[in-house]
Structure 1
Amino acid sequence: MFVTHVAMVAALTASLNVAPEYGRPDLRRDAERIVAGGVTGVQARVTSEGRSMVAVAGVADLRTRGPVPPNGYFRIGSSNKTFVATVVLQLVGEGKLALDDTVDRWLPGLIKGRGDDGRKITVRDLLQHTSGLVDDYPYPTAIASSRQYRRHRHDTFTPQQVISRAMRHKPAFAPGKGWLYANTGYATLGLIIEKATARPWHEEVKRRVIEPLGLKHTRWPAGSAELPRPHARGYTVFKTSEGFVDTTRHRDADASGGLISTTADLDRFFTALLGGELLRPAELAEMRRTVPVATELRRIWPGARYGLGLVQRPLPCGGTYVGHGGDILGFMTRTGVTADGKRSVVISVSTERFDSAKRIVQIDAAVNRLVNRALCDTR
């Protein structure tokens, strides 16, 4: 009877086209597929209506071969941009600044170069990467070899220095007339937050986001090149012949990507933000208003659109999800929350690879597979 009953249930499920639920074994297998693509370690968290499951794969340290900690700290890279955008939009909601304010309204003369003009670039342009600014980041995004890493890993640059370097380049387009990802824009937003509040951007993030949400493991590293424990070591492959280079220790980027966090804290942040806990409806709606990303990026991320510090992407099961990834030496972060807010995912990969376009695409595909299957809740 039991066998017959199981067969009947299976047949009914198939007839209703109901997909099996995505569970912990599926999450573990998908994490292992990412490692098989050529990375050292992965920790992944999937949350469904408040209940989380976590899986790890690979190793935390290539020397000791110890396991990846399921609650490990990591550098979140550009996922930082959503924290910064949240503070900016809170200030907008408080009437302390406006999305249509120009850069010159807050930082007169700072953006002035070979066609760049702070009188024409708005806060919205900076948030949405429609400013036309061209990055010339000295570190860490410009590091292209293990030798450069060892030589420059403790270098520091002020936001003003970063912006000054960008002014050596002609803009990619007139403000609002195109889309180009620009870390320099978020370095500028950090200065605008400081001018509007009289406090550094990371103090405002702590006061307005980290403390209210109880994110006990999200922090600004200040001048330290260390990661708190526990953590997986972060590795970078600059050249295939060099193999994995330990790039755990370095000084982070500024408002474009400086925070350290955990999968639990990032999950709490993104679900709270998109659930309306941090912004009023009007400002959250502005954040979610999107434009198409650049053509070359759409080849990698079909259907991707960018809001104000948020990325929107389609799901194969229908609908969309939003979040913001991050890539910085040693660490790749990916996040996503479904449109209804019921499911979310956060992935930390403790390896970045620059040695092979094919390898990069392979790893990205494995990460996307996990995201899509987890958010669609299907095996």
Structure 2
Amino acid sequence: MRETIAVAERHDLEAVLRTALDELCRLGVTGAQGQVHAGGRDVVAWAGAGMPAAGRFRIGGATAAFTAAVVLQLAAEGSLSLDDEVAALLPGVLTDPRITVRHLLQHTSGLPDYIGALAGGSRLAHHDPEALVALRSGPAAVPGTQWTYSHTDYVLAGLVVRAVTGRSWAEQVRNRIARPLGLRDTYFPYDHPSLPRSSARAYQQLVPGGPLLDVTELNPTALDAAGGLVSTTADLTRFWCALRRGELLGPDALAELDRTVPAGPYQDVRAGLGFGLGAFRVPSAGGGFWSHPGDVPGTATCNGVSDDGSRSVVLYRTTTPADPVLRADLDARALRLVEDLLTLD
């Protein structure tokens, strides 16, 4: 893929993007799509089977950026403080008084990730957020002492939004972000497990060399405010640009988002990787960019946006291979493609 990008001056953005997506498909991905917003224009390309031009897909962990933006808006309005004790905001849900709202958004709460404790075969089952938080997949760490990615943090952040506003995090995302920005295809499906017919199918492989299983059906309540949103590449490029341009957050709130801590366990992905409030800061030769990838069974998305919001890239693919080496290679190639597309003229 790096060689593909190296000859970019002889191609337009669409050709570069399409060539790279074709390569991902040759590696075993069923389908892939990408969108670039740059210079006031949008470029879209797709490759593989069953990839619609504007299909919706599950964005997984990228949902966290939306949830964090809502919490930062509430903090700017004075409805809460980032240093509020979560136990005081959610009595009976959390008991440790040391954990703050900032710890949740920054993944420094020390709370273990509930994902590993979800019961097998529960892909279509309903999950209440309080029940997700109660699941334990390991011991807790002292709050503020280490960075660990935990879906539990953002499920709690969603509960904080509801406690402060009286409305669910999904309603607040719709009213505060999706509607003002015109994101017509970004939503939380609640208990509805299907995607619209115009969406690509998602496939997962359980063992290397084994068949691809259709895992498109998924009850997103298992991911809630940590990963339950559905969106499109068009909506996501718009969201990322708006976030960095200050259309959603004022300067003070954006400065809080930008205060990063080292994402220690992910240094093998990119040395110097940091995490702010809802997004990763990815170092690069071009000065760095902001991103939050997302994975759900059968679908993975990678994205990036420049500091000033003038350029953004969103990719997604619809196959999860069983081979961890191949998965890591696909992730690395997608991240490199995002990085390079953010700097192409």
Task: Provide the TM-score with structure 1 as the length reference.
Answer: 0.85
The yes-or-no answer on 1:163 pairing with 2:146 is no
Q: Does 1:369 align with 2:336?
A: yes
* Aligned counterparts of 2:20 and 2:190: Cα–Cα separation in 1: 35
Opposite residue 97 of structure 1, the aligned amino acid is L
Aligned equivalents of 2:10 and 2:29: distance in 1? 29
Q: Which moved more, 1:175-184 or 1:236-245?
A: 236-245
Task: Note if 1:57 corresponds to 2:27.
Answer: no
Q: Distance in 2 between matches of 1:37 and 1:338?
A: 28
**Which residue does 1:4 correspond to in 2?**
none
Q: Tell me the CA shift for residue 242 of structure 1.
A: 2.6
Which protein shows a greater Rg?
1
Q: Could you tell me which residue of structure 1 aligns to residue 111 of structure 2? A: 133
Q: 2:151 and 2:213 mapped to 1: Cα distance?
A: 24
The Cα of 1:342 is off from its aligned counterpart by 2.3
* Residue aligned with 1:28, SS: helix
Alpha carbons 1:37, 1:362 under 8 Å: kept: no
Preserved CA contact (<8 Å) 1:73 1:229: no
Give the deviation of 1:138 after TM superposition.
6.3
Contact 1:38 1:363 in 2 (8 A): no
* Deviations 1:259-282 (CA, angstroms, capped at 9, x unpaired): 111000011111001100011110
Q: How does 1:39-54 map to 2 (within 5 A)?
A: 39-54=29-44
**Segments ≥4 residues shifted beyond 6 Å:** none
- How far 1:359 sits from its partner (Å)? 0.6
In structure 2, the residue matched to 1:206 is 174
Corresponding position of 2:283:
314
SS at the partner of 2:314?
Answer: strand
Find the aligned partners of 1:364 and 1:277 in 2 and give their Cα distance.
Answer: 30
What TM-score, normalized to structure 2? 0.93
1:282 aligns with 2:260: no
1:42 Cα deviation from its structure 2 partner: 0.4
Distance across 2 between alignment mates of 1:110 and 1:315: 40
Q: 2:80 aligns with which of 77, 97, 119?
A: 97
Letter in 2 for 1:46: V
Unaligned residue ranges in structure 1 (runs of 5+): 1-17, 61-67
Structure-1 separation of matches of 2:116 and 2:105: 21
Match of 1:13 in 2: none
Match of 1:15 in 2: none
Q: Percent sequence identity over matched residues?
A: 40
User: Where does structure 2 lack aligned partners over 5 or more consecutive residues?
Assistant: 1-7
State the Cα RMSD in Å. 1.7
By how many angstroms is 1:243 displaced? Answer: 2.3
How many residues are matched? Answer: 336
Match of 1:291 in 2: 261
2:211 counterpart of 1:233: no
Give the match for residue 86 of structure 1: 69
